[in-house]
Amino acid sequence: MRRLSVADIMRETGLSRATVDRVLNGRDKVHDRTRAVVEETLAKLRSGGKKPPKPLIADIALRVGRGLMGQMRAAWGASAAQGAFHDLHLADETGVLRCVEALCRDVSRPLILTAKNSDRLVTVLANARVKGKRVIALVSDLPPVARDGFVGLDDRSAGQTAAFLIGRMLGDRPTTVGVVLGNIAFRCHEDREIGFRTGLRAHFPRVVISGEAQGEDSADLTRKAVNRLLAEYPALGAIYNVGGGNGGMVDALKAAGRAADILVVGHEVNPVTAPLLRSGAMDFAIAGVPRDLLSAALRMAAGTEQGTGKDVQHLDFGVYTRFNLPSFATGD
């Protein structure tokens, strides 16, 4: 069979050479639907016109912040996967467990899941896996007994990156910083905090964590928690938010008159955080590409990663500022 060319894809899709080239080379500034059209056409041409494989039928249930939720929903809609998307934003443990129990009744459909690590949840997932259910943890890992694989960032490295940014920006002088916690029942939050603490201790011992605020990924709870943190430690030089609720954090900084003189590092670049970065209310955001995270989870859910010996896949992450906001920040 002859080698496929860009012209072949252009002819089938009606897209320009520049657009096809951006998709094939993984560049930004391509809409998810356009990317999906090119990828489906490429698969069709490679199969010699044969009937394409059946789409993956799976379910996805996410207990994540509102900004990331929107990005994941858009990526799910642009994918070829079929199944149900479950928005568990701010759902309590009982609500999450009820949803997961219902989804585990059909063991034939893989489940992609982001949730807190709890004994009850682990038991439900472990029992379902014994019956043949395939479970992929996304963004936040779960114990191996509860999942077949994990797709996300190396969150300890992400926390160490936050420590490096703050330590280098504040300079070699005694400084106190605060940490905004989501919930350590999320493995990603726990790992980020551990990475941050070990990073400061190893490389910037004069930068000391003096206080914590529990935000639970809620803008309102984060605002109240950061208000208390600033009242107790008014001399903080920086804040690192390991989770969501960034809008509430910034509201608290503004109310305290600290929005312009405190260094802020957080996670994710989305319609919630992008305006905060543009305005200077957040200085740095550490993030992976939501579309890539979901695509890798879908491949793992389909079993196409089986035989590689990899049940954990860490994707690359970047550090973003107001000057280098990526296209996925607004869903473009």
In this structure, of 51-60, 63-72, 161-170, the range with the lowest mean pLDDT score is 51-60
Q: What is the pLDDT of residues 108-131, one digit of tens each?
A: 999 999 999 999 999 999 999 999
Q: Cα separation of 41 and 239, whole Å?
A: 46
**Whether residue 13 is found in the same domain as residue 123:** no
Which of the four pLDDT bands, split at 50, 70 and 90, describes residue 304?
Answer: low
Do 147 and 163 belong together in one domain?
Answer: no
The CA-based diameter of the chain, rounded to the nearest angstrom, is: 70
Q: What is the pLDDT of residue 50?
A: 62
Q: Which amino acid is present at 118?
A: S
Q: Which pLDDT tens digit goes with each residue over 68-108? A: 999 999 999 989 899 999 999 989 999 999 999 999 999 99
Domain check: are 124 and 162 in the same one?
no
Burial of 115 (0-12, 13-18, 19+ CB in 10 A): buried
Answer for the pair 289, 326: CB distance below 8 angstroms, yes or no. yes
Using one digit for the tens of pLDDT, what is the confidence trace for 215-227? 988 899 999 999 9
Residue type, 310: K
Pick from 68, 84, 97: which is nearest to 266 by CA?
68
Q: Residues 66, 107: one domain?
A: yes
CATH code of the domain in which 265 resides: 3.40.50.2300
pLDDT of 306 strictly over 60: no
Listed in sequence order, the residues at least 6 apart from 12 whose beta carbon sits closer than 8 Å to its beta carbon are: 41, 44, 45
- The angle formed by the CA atoms of residues 250, 255 and 259, to the nearest 5 degrees, is 50
In 186-255 the beta strands, taken as DSSP E runs, fall at 207-214, 238-241
pLDDT above 90 for 267? yes
**C-alpha pair distances (Å), 37 with each of 3, 34, 81, 137:** 20, 5, 14, 27
pLDDT of residue 62: 98
pLDDT of residue 32: 76
Structural domain including 174 reads: 155-287
Mean pLDDT calculated for residue range 12-28: 82
The rounded distance, in Å, linking the Cα atoms of 250 and 259 is 7
- Specify if 53 maps to a domain: no
Q: Name residue 266's beta-bridge partners.
A: 285
Q: Kindly state the average pLDDT of the residues 249-275.
A: 96
Residues 6+ apart with CB under 8 A from 161: 195, 199, 286, 317, 319
Sign (positive or negative) of CA dihedral 90, 127, 313, 298: negative
| % of the chain at pLDDT higher than 70 | 95
Q: Based on the fold, state whether residues 180 and 253 are members of the same structural domain.
A: yes
Number of helical (H) and strand (E) elements in the chain, helices listed first: 12, 12
Kindly state whether residues 120 and 207 are assigned to the same domain: no
The answer to whether residue 272 is domain-embedded is yes
* Average model confidence (pLDDT) across the chain: 91
3-state secondary structure of 133: coil
How many domains, the chain?
A: 3
User: Do residues 124 and 241 share a domain?
Assistant: no
Question: 74 with 90, same domain?
Answer: yes
In a domain, 114, yes or no: yes
Structure confidence at residue 34 as a pLDDT band (50, 70, 90):
confident
> Strands 318-320 and 312-314: what pairing?
unpaired
Give the pLDDT score at 332. Answer: 47
3-state DSSP assignment of residue 244: coil
Confidence class for position 331, pLDDT limits 50, 70, 90: low
Residue 20 has pLDDT above 90, yes or no: no
Please state, in angstroms and rounded to a whole number, the distance separating the CA atoms of residues 87 and 114.
10
Dihedral of CA atoms 25, 162, 315, 85 in degrees, nearest 10, equals -100
Check whether 142 has a pLDDT greater than 50.
yes
pLDDT computed for residue 80 by the predictor: 86
User: Are residues 100 and 127 both part of a single domain?
Assistant: yes
